[in-house]
Amino acid sequence: MASVQASPPKLNPEQILEQMGQLALSDLEQVMNKGYYLLAEKKAPHLSKRETELFTIINQGFSDEFYLRYKSLSEKLPSENFTPDEREEFISLNDKMEERSAERLLALVELAELRQTTVEELANQLGISAATVYGSRIH
């Protein structure tokens, strides 16, 4: 046999205020603090789960060690003074950067679509330069 639970009667704002007026000062302060918290929570914009995931992708960078090594190897580019191992390492690091740039750009495109704006406008709102959007340093 299924049990039926009755929901408590809904109070209107006047009834709530009347009940609050009967509280002790410390209890009233506690209720008011919680009320302010609830109000702020309802007013504050919230990201959807997908927006949060997209921001995680957009903001994902590489370690400082990665960048230092990439910079060190890229400085050898003009002279082509690579050892075979350094050349392979540079290609691998560059491939990782390009892959991350593509993932980031796809995330920006999807986020722009969700927010019904352009990638350029979204990047501007987020303070991301075109160079970082389209492939320079991603950090």
Domain ranges of the chain: 49-133
Mean pLDDT (the chain) is: 84
- For the segment 92-105, the average pLDDT, to the nearest whole number, is 93
Model-level pTM? 0.61
Q: How far apart are CA 129 and CA 135, in angstroms?
A: 10
pLDDT value at residue 80: 80
Instruction: With both helix axes pointing from N to C terminus, report the angle between 84-114 and 119-126 in degrees, rounded to the nearest 10.
Output: 100
* Short-list 56, 58, 85, CA closest to 69: 85
Residues in the chain: 139
pLDDT value at residue 138: 38
Residue with more model confidence, 42 or 62: 62
Q: How far apart are CA 49 and CA 109, in angstroms?
A: 16
pLDDT value at residue 51: 92
Angstrom CA distances, 123 to 97, 119, 135, stand at 19, 6, 13
Query: Are 102 and 57 within 8 A, CB to CB?
Result: no
- Identify the band that residue 132 occupies on the pLDDT scale cut at 50, 70 and 90: low
Instruction: With both helix axes pointing from N to C terminus, report the angle between 64-74 and 84-114 in degrees, rounded to the nearest 10.
Output: 120
pLDDT value at residue 54: 93
Evaluate if residue 30 carries a pLDDT over 90.
no
